[in-house]
A and B are shown apart, each in its own frame.
Chain A
Amino acid sequence: MKTTPISTSALSESTRLFLTTLQAKLAQTQKEVTTGRHADMGLSLGFRTGEVISLRQEHTRLQTITDTNAVAATRLNAGQAALKALAETAQGFLGQLMAGAISNQSQQVLQTQALSGLSMFADMLNTTIDGASLFAGINADVRPITEYQAPGAANAQAVASAFAGAFGISQSDPGVANIDSADMQTFLDTTFAGLFDPGAWSGTWSAASDQNIRSRISSTELVETSVNANDEAFRKLASAFTMVADLGTTKLNQDAFQAVVETATSLVGQALDGLTKLQADLGVAQERIAKANDRMSIQMDIMANHIGVLEGVDPYEASTRVAELLTQVEIAYAMTARIAKLTILNYL
């Protein structure tokens, strides 16, 4: 027969178990206080762990796109700067073309201008950024424009042979002075213009690809973030510089030279219009990137907030719990000690 409602082993076992449970909770809560996050994400969140992981994925994805947008933005800025410089050069050249009366001296000056314009043109279009050519389209590893004044340059040779084909003499021949303005005009409009057709251009002048670089600027948007050296504006500008620079300029008679200047003036004017259009294209891309960045930054803020809500623990609540647990542990210790002392043996 047993009469007591409690056994000695149950009594000591229960205080022991109570203590270990408290200590385990204490360790967990302390971790939560120091990190501000759940001690064990999976256990606290359950299936919502998937949500946290997805949010984190989305967050890093947007962060990466924002980072790569900086690369695209740099490319666009550099492109804008190059276009602006080109437009200024073209503007200056246009001013010179329209400025004064035709004289031997002005022919000399214009040729120098055109030659420096040509080299400036090649410099600008051959700009590279991080090892990638800015105006080469997707052929980013080549320098798109052949330097006209380099020895044996294909574009210069093509002009020379076209000239020789049309007039039977080279550009440096004194006989150039005998070319009349009508012949010159015909040459400029047909053979010479043909040298700057897209096909011929890609053969002798440019190694660029027609395909522009496309960048992903947000989860869904793909935009072209470069212009290429095969654009009509560049071809027209090159043709204007070339005709003034290298058609025997200083030796031409004034009528023929007048024809050259008029054609060049009109071409530079068209090129300037084209350059403005290109600048506008790049500007649109720049604006889209800025807008995408703004949008993504808002999205990322929301996500970061949500991740915080899911993963985080209220630090005040957690530290209150620690204090509470500490008190409980102390009470448990005191109780255990007193219960252990409480035996009838002491009174026998």
Chain B
Amino acid sequence: MSLSVGLDVALSGLSTTAEQTAVVSRNVARAGDPHASRKTANLVTLPGGGVKLASITRASNAALFDKMLGATSDAGTQRVLLEALNRLDETINDPELDASPAALVSKLGEALQRYGAAPQDAVAARTAVAAAGDLVQGLHDATQVVQQVRAAADAEIASSVDRVNTLLVQFETVNREIVGGTQRGDDVTDQLDQRDQILASLANEIGIRTVRRANDDMAIYTDSGLTLFDVGPRSVTFDRTLIFAPATAGSAVYVDGVPITSPQGPMAAKTGRLPGLAAVRDTVAVTYQSQLDEIARGLIGAFAESDQSATPTLPDVPGLFTYPGGPAMPAAGTILTGLAGSIVLNPSVDPTQGGDASLLRDGGISGNPAYLYNPTGASAFSDRLQQLTDRLNAQQAFDPAAQAAPSDTVAGFASSSAAWLQEMRKNASDDADYKNALLQRGSEALSNATGINLDEEMTLLLELERSYQASTRLIATIDNMLGAVLQMVG
């Protein structure tokens, strides 16, 4: 051993301390980044006593990370579902506001009762027809909201698919750097962080599983098992539908030509925003629309006119409410898609369209005298109005596919539709809260396991400072010793 060896070792100590300080400052700089993982400098002792920075590793926890990805996907699904249901709730709102289709039906019933009590009153007649007009408008508005929700979901699916594609391309670049860097033995910890961040964003859009392979290579599959990335990204494709009508069916999202958003499909993705949005567009909003359609059908049925001849031969025809398919009645007990958007007040009874409101009392709205209930035109004739009230309050059969009450009054069916929506909303909200809490806990646990603690870095810095000081002292001492030797010689 010689003094020069000691000097070399002290020098190597100085340089590794500098490198370690660099790692600490990298940690400190990213302390606020929730995705940052803590970097550690690994030292090795060289033969002969020196030290050298062998590698930099990052704190990681694959199990916690995967759990966090899962929680992200779950929370994503629930969040879009809840947002859509909150939009649909616009059609119902607080029961006190009486703005729901159910409340509008009951207002019509109320106006009919008032008209029935004063059948000779032209104002009461107009009020009743106006209430019917409000109801029609309410159903049109609700249909519009539902279709807007569907169109918005479709647009979001499109942007979500774009995002997935962009993320997969980014993933390819980062993954290649990681594999190459690992093979070369470079520091790839920053790229690994970046890759984790991409995965987290991806998991928000669609549920994923990852498989780690040699050289830190990674493949991504959807939670249903379709390959999203293996060496290269797979193409995720989607055709956006621009305008949504009740009968419009949006197109599916395909990965490599396999649909992942049809709920019955064997490869349907289960979690993430994409399947959530698809469920909104293809199931939730469609069911709600069919409930509105059934309300409209129930109204047309309740206000239908029947042949009043001594021996009736003519079929029933739509009365106060009609639709483009008239004068035939819509088929009983079956959803007629889009009816809530196309139901209209019969122009012959609507004063704002030049009609006569008292036809509501007298019948014959369809224009055929065979359907006159009050052929003499007696002004206080209330039988037809009472009959309408009875029919509005009579049980009807509704299509069970609409998922609301299968047999109820029109107003009762409308209430059960509101109940259906609010129950969905309550469940989605509870679920979203729960999934969010899980995500929060998961992220916290992951951050605690792999994240940076400033205090730890600071104490480490103190240590490094001391070690640097000690090394310089060593150098100074060795210098003195060498000086002493030289003096002795000189």
Interface residues of A (CB under 8 A from B): 1-10, 12-14, 17, 37, 41-54, 56-57, 60-61, 64-65, 67-68, 71-72, 130-132, 136-141, 209, 211, 213-216, 219, 222, 311, 343-345, 348
Nearest CB on A from B443, distance (A): 8
A2 touches B449 (CB 8 A): yes
Nearest CB on B from A215, distance (A): 6
Nearest CB on A from B68, distance (A): 12
B386 within 8 A of A: yes
B229-275 residues at the A interface, CB under 8 angstroms: none
Q: Roughly how many angstroms separate A17 CA and B36 CA in the complex, as a whole number?
A: 19
Nearest CB on A from B91, distance (A): 11
Q: Roughly how many angstroms separate A138 CA and B378 CA in the complex, as a whole number?
A: 6
> Which of A6, A52, A67, A138 is close to B453, meaning CB atoms less than 8 Å apart?
A6
> Which of A17, A52, A140 is close to B95, meaning CB atoms less than 8 Å apart?
A52
B98 touches A5 (CB 8 A): no
* CB closest residue in chain A, given B462: A348
A61 touches B110 (CB 8 A): yes
Q: Which 7 A-B pairs have the closest CB atoms?
A: A50-B419, A7-B451, A140-B380, A68-B117, A46-B426, A42-B422, A57-B106
> Which of B110, B119, B393, B415 is close to A219, meaning CB atoms less than 8 Å apart?
B393
B456 within 8 A of A: yes
Residues of the B chain whose Cβ atoms lie less than 8 Å from the Cβ of A64: 109-110, 113-114
> Which of A1, A2, A8 is close to B31, meaning CB atoms less than 8 Å apart?
A8
Number of A-B contacts (CB under 8 A): 202
Residues of the A chain whose Cβ atoms lie less than 8 Å from the Cβ of B121: 130-132
Nearest CB on A from B228, distance (A): 29
* CB closest residue in chain B, given A5: B448
Given contacts A42-B92, A57-B102, A7 and B380 within 8 Å (CB-CB): no
> Which of A2, A8, A46, A209 is close to B423, meaning CB atoms less than 8 Å apart?
A46
Nearest CB on A from B28, distance (A): 10
Q: Roughly how many angstroms separate A10 CA and B33 CA in the complex, as a whole number?
A: 10
A344 touches B454 (CB 8 A): yes
B412 within 8 A of A: yes
> Which of B381, B417, B422, B448 is close to A7, meaning CB atoms less than 8 Å apart?
B448
B422 touches A47 (CB 8 A): yes
B120 within 8 A of A: yes
B32 within 8 A of A: yes
Q: Roughly how many angstroms separate A51 CA and B405 CA in the complex, as a whole number?
A: 12
**Size category of the binding interface on chain B:** 35 or more
> Which of B98, B117, B452, B459 is close to A72, meaning CB atoms less than 8 Å apart?
B117
Mask, B331-366, CB within 8 Å of A = 1, is 000000000000000000000000000000000000
Given contacts A2-B449, A49-B422, A140-B379, A8 and B454 within 8 Å (CB-CB): yes
Residues of the A chain whose Cβ atoms lie less than 8 Å from the Cβ of B448: 5-7, 10
Excluding A44-B426, A216-B116, 6 further A-B contacts by CB distance (< 8 Å) are A5-B448, A13-B444, A43-B425, A54-B102, A213-B380, A311-B96
B471 within 8 A of A: no
B152 within 8 A of A: no
Residues of the B chain whose Cβ atoms lie less than 8 Å from the Cβ of A215: 116-117, 382
B118 touches A56 (CB 8 A): no
> Which of B32, B118, B386, B419 is close to A49, meaning CB atoms less than 8 Å apart?
B419
> Which of B100, B105, B389 is close to A216, meaning CB atoms less than 8 Å apart?
B389
B59 within 8 A of A: yes
Nearest CB on B from A21, distance (A): 10
> Which of A57, A130, A216 is close to B118, meaning CB atoms less than 8 Å apart?
A130
B380 touches A49 (CB 8 A): no
A8 touches B96 (CB 8 A): no
Q: Roughly how many angstroms separate A331 CA and B143 CA in the complex, as a whole number?
A: 48
B81-113 residues at the A interface, CB under 8 angstroms: 89, 92, 94-96, 98, 100, 102-103, 105-107, 109-110, 113
Nearest CB on A from B193, distance (A): 13
Nearest CB on B from A152, distance (A): 25
Q: Roughly how many angstroms separate A17 CA and B443 CA in the complex, as a whole number?
A: 12
B386 touches A222 (CB 8 A): yes
B380 touches A137 (CB 8 A): yes
* CB closest residue in chain B, given A217: B117
B411 within 8 A of A: yes
A65 touches B40 (CB 8 A): no
* CB closest residue in chain B, given A57: B106
Residues of the B chain whose Cβ atoms lie less than 8 Å from the Cβ of A130: 118, 121
Residues of the B chain whose Cβ atoms lie less than 8 Å from the Cβ of A10: 34, 443-444, 447-448, 451
Q: Roughly how many angstroms separate A257 CA and B106 CA in the complex, as a whole number?
A: 64
> Which of A2, A37, A51 is close to B40, meaning CB atoms less than 8 Å apart?
A2
> Which of B116, B378, B416, B452 is close to A139, meaning CB atoms less than 8 Å apart?
B378
